[in-house]
Amino acid sequence: MKAQRQLSIRQYKASGFIGEQQELVRTTVIPYQYDVLRDRAGTEKSHVFDNFKNAAAALSGEDTGDGFYGMVFQDSDAAKWLEAAAFSIAVKPDRELEKEADELISLIAAAQDRDGYINTYFTIKDRDKRWTNLLEGHEMYCSGHLFEAGAAYYEATGKRELLDVCLKNAEHIYDRFVTQGKAGYPGHPEIELALLKLYRASGDERCLELAKHFIDVRGVDKDFYKKEKQARDWTVWGNNADDHDYQQNGSPVRLQKDATGHAVRAVYLYTGMADMAGESDDEELYNACRKLWESITERRMYVTGGIGSTVHGEAFSVDYDLPSDTAYAETCASCGLMFFASRMLEIKPSAEYADVMEQAFYNTVLAGMARDGKSFFYVNPLECIPGISGVSPTHRHDLTQRPGWYACACCPPNVARTIMSLGQYAYGESDDTAFCHMYAAGETSFKNGVQLVCETAYPFDMNVTYRSKKGGKTAVRLPGWSENTVITLNGKEIEPEIKNGYAYLTLADNDEVKLKLDDKPRMIFASGRVPELTGKACICRGPLVYCFEGVDNDGDVLSLRLKSELKAELTKVQVFDDIPALSVEALRSQGKGSLYFRERPKLTEMTAKAIPYFCCANRGETQMRIWLPIVY
């Protein structure tokens, strides 16, 4: 069923904006997070390295030192760091980083039980409780992230130690749930998508079979978690075993129609489903994925590509419930949305999938990390007001500033690994076609022989050039947001075959294709079914959503109003480095200072400034808004 596939991590060498982001991750984020994992960064304690050391000691019957510290899924922080490190080594070899990664891998290997089981929480705290709390225990979630790291590190370095640890662990899980037929499926989906990566790295068919098993059995017995809870006398979180929406287990996955519950769990599950549908030519499973995709993108997604609108369960709520000021929009969820979009894109190359993938990346994923690479958002609100955001009980989760590190540190390494592996999302290939899904500057070599160089200052400049060092059939996405796209081949305007939003070209060696995308700022309106956004609009340019911060607008964005006819242009003043702002003709509403009053507020003409949303919250505490009221 797959029409094309992701590239390997070595096939794309970035430059331009993506190259800059990767360099920030490589030189700052990865070393910083390594120090965090070793508890020497001066941040909240992580203890990840020591957890593995203490688990190895427990297996040897030795003193476990200070025991286990952290969340039940603390091991996954190490795995995601290793995956980011693997991608970094593939992009630019680094002996010191490889040495650090090898040291951590050796610790992980030493913490693996003889039967293949590996999880520091249970190994240190209570080995007798293994596999008795799939609802909350995150054992397979941690294994999944380890499998992703093992596959990536093997691909980047050719070293098998971590891969072999992963295969031994997968064999242990296979033996329990397939060979022995023990009931159950992962509480937090992740292992499904990871097993498919491990299968491709190793060729071990059991990984493929195990992934299919967990997808097929989920929700068949919707009361599994309830029965499991009744059989034990302990808990981690006190999760509600009857909350089928939260756990995506109210029905078998092929019958699910709405994206529900914990947003990260949901899109990780959907990614595994889509990958399995493509791998096994399962049309029924693909159709289920399609319904879930439509549920997210047509009724439950923010304009930033953020998903999960409520703090209660970090979850999807109901259709059209998309509040700006209490948004959850976890960074990890948008990473997961990119993963889901990429797997759907493999089955059917269609611009709608790439458009959403790009929307999530340039807005919420990048917004999850500060410009200095050392502080991070877990939650990504679309509106922040100091004194309310982070303070009011209803808004406590929506912070005005990114923290440096936090106890549940899933998002920082997720951002790092996503940025370092962006080539896998920006480009794809089939046996005879090179696919350009996102406009990522750099050089890409495809296994079908095509070699392309992309030159662009995207996402700030809308001119994109592809030069074919070696020609062949090439498909270039035409984004849905660009109303007027001009394509030239060797200086002559052309009208190529267009299918599902991709322009299909047959290039000779040294051909030059130029795309001139629509560079005008545009006003975006929401469905009248979204109560929060009635009478409001936001501004986008290219893939970027723009926001208004108080620091640029006399400290006050609440009184800003947009004119019904948008007049906006790039400013000559750079906000950060070479990132331009937008100058917007707007109105300011000026009323009395009392709480309520009768006199109509006066509207005065003014010029407002808007910046890319991913740049917000980098210049101190200040008001921020994406959606503004419109004056007609």
Q: How far is CA 236 from the centre of its chain?
A: 26
Residue 532 DSSP symbol: G
- Provide φ and ψ at 230, rounded to 5°: -65, -25
Residue in 83, 136, 314, 549 annotated catalytic: 314
Q: Is the distance from CB of 353 to CB of 7 less than 8 angstroms? A: no
Torsion angle (degrees, nearest 10) of CA 454, 457, 463, 467:
-20
CA distance 552 to 370: 18
In terms of Cα–Cα distance, which of 210, 204, 205 is closest to 160?
204
For 115, what's the count of Cα atoms within 13 Å in the CB-facing half-sphere?
10
Residue 513 DSSP symbol: E
Q: Is 172 helix (H, G, I), strand (E, B) or coil?
A: helix
Q: Are strands 472-477 and 433-436 parallel, antiparallel or unpaired?
A: parallel
CA distance 489 to 510: 11
In terms of Cα–Cα distance, which of 362, 371, 363, 368 is closest to 412?
368
DSSP states along 200-228: HHH--HHHHHHHHHHHHHTTTSTTHHHHH
Torsion angle (degrees, nearest 10) of CA 420, 421, 427, 429:
150
Secondary structure element (H or E) that encloses residue 290, with its range:
helix 283-299
Omega before residue 580 within 30° of 0, cis = no
410 is catalytic: yes
314 is catalytic: yes
> 283-299 and 351-360 helices cross at what angle (nearest 10)?
50
CA distance 483 to 502: 14
Query: How crowded is residue 483: how many other Cβ atoms within 10 Å of its Cβ?
Result: 9
In terms of Cα–Cα distance, which of 608, 521, 610 is closest to 559?
608
Residue in 207, 332, 410, 616 annotated catalytic: 410
Q: Is the distance from CB of 354 to CB of 284 less than 8 angstroms? A: no
List Cβ neighbours of 392 (8 Å cut-off, separation of 6 or more): none
Query: How crowded is residue 565: how many other Cβ atoms within 10 Å of its Cβ?
Result: 9
Q: What totals of helices (H) and strands (E) does the chain contain, helices first?
A: 19, 23
CA distance 133 to 120: 15
Q: Is the distance from CB of 217 to CB of 185 less than 8 angstroms? A: yes
Report, in this order, helix, strand and coil percent for the chain, each rounded to 5: 40, 20, 40
Positions of E strands within 437-516: 442-445, 451-456, 463-470, 472-477, 486-489, 492-493, 497-499, 502-507, 512-516
Q: Is 474 helix (H, G, I), strand (E, B) or coil?
A: strand
Q: How far is CA 299 from the centre of its chain?
A: 19
In terms of Cα–Cα distance, which of 417, 363, 422, 576 is closest to 33?
417
Torsion angle (degrees, nearest 10) of CA 250, 256, 262, 267:
140
Supply the residues annotated as catalytic: 314, 410
